[in-house]
Amino acid sequence: EVQLVESGGGVVQPGGSLRLSCAASGFVFDDYAMSWVRQAPGKGLEWVSSINWNGHNTDYVDSVKGRFTISRDNAKNSLYLQMNSLRAEDTAFYYCAKDTGSYFSDWFDPWGQGTLVTVSS
Amino acid sequence: EIVLTQSPGTLSLSPGERATLSCRASRSVSSNFLVWYQQKPGQAPRLLIHGSSNRARGIPDRFSGSGSGTDFTLTISRLEPEDFAVYYCQQYGSSPRTFGQGTKVEIK
């Protein structure tokens, strides 16, 4: 069974940093691209960032470019999101999601349970 | 980017009734690269339909997807109590991958 477990969320002040992690199991991690998708409380879904199977290709939504960095450690079956210069509008549940192939181009399945990031003073 | 608009925002129906949800794209979605997810309160989204009309593994056949180009539909033939949730469409035909704003199916 595929499992994705996020961690690292919490409360941070505007301008602060946070690093999210996603531990993957139940599939060959380095065969697949991975992504982060976020959801502000009570709102809709927004794709944030994706990384291909070997970490050499990444992509970001415009609103986080230059502030967020996605990375992965295939030896540890783990995905990361380094978030810097956080803003109030980054407050959301952050979901780790598996892509369907080695490159990020399709849909997300499955998703982790999410971790909440709250940016507030 | 492709903007997806879902309608209605909320659908109030009774168990056993048919639900028809719409997802309209701001421009044509190439190769019908559109999926539908279901999200229940406190849970992550779950894949229902991919490629516009293909049910994901384990999804009951009361769920069906259709459409092409800019107009897509998710139909739930007979609502079961566990189907009351929020449904999102997502396109993967062009970058960035985008989502609709969701349709809530609530118990009437």
Nearest-angstrom CA–CA distance, A23 and B75: 35
- B44, B46, B101 member nearest A44 (Cβ): B101
- Six-digit token pair at A8? 């690292």
> A-chain residues within 8 Å CB-CB of B96?
47, 59, 61
Provide the pLDDT for residue B31.
Answer: 84
- pLDDT 10s digits, B80-101: 999 999 999 999 989 899 999 9
> In this structure, are residues A79 and A30 in contact, taking their beta carbons and an 8 Å threshold?
no
- pLDDT 10s digits, A81-96: 999 999 999 999 999 9
> A-chain residues within 8 Å CB-CB of B90?
45, 107-108
Nearest-angstrom CA–CA distance, B71 and B74: 11
- A44, A106, A107 member nearest B102 (Cβ): A44
Q: pLDDT confidence of B30, banded at 50, 70, 90?
A: confident
Per the listing, tokens 């997807």 go with B65
Q: Are strands B10-13 and A10-12 parallel, antiparallel or unpaired?
A: unpaired
Nearest-angstrom CA–CA distance, A86 and A91: 9
| Amino acid, single-letter form, for residue B46 | R
Nearest-angstrom CA–CA distance, A56 and B31: 27
- B33, B45, B96 member nearest A61 (Cβ): B96
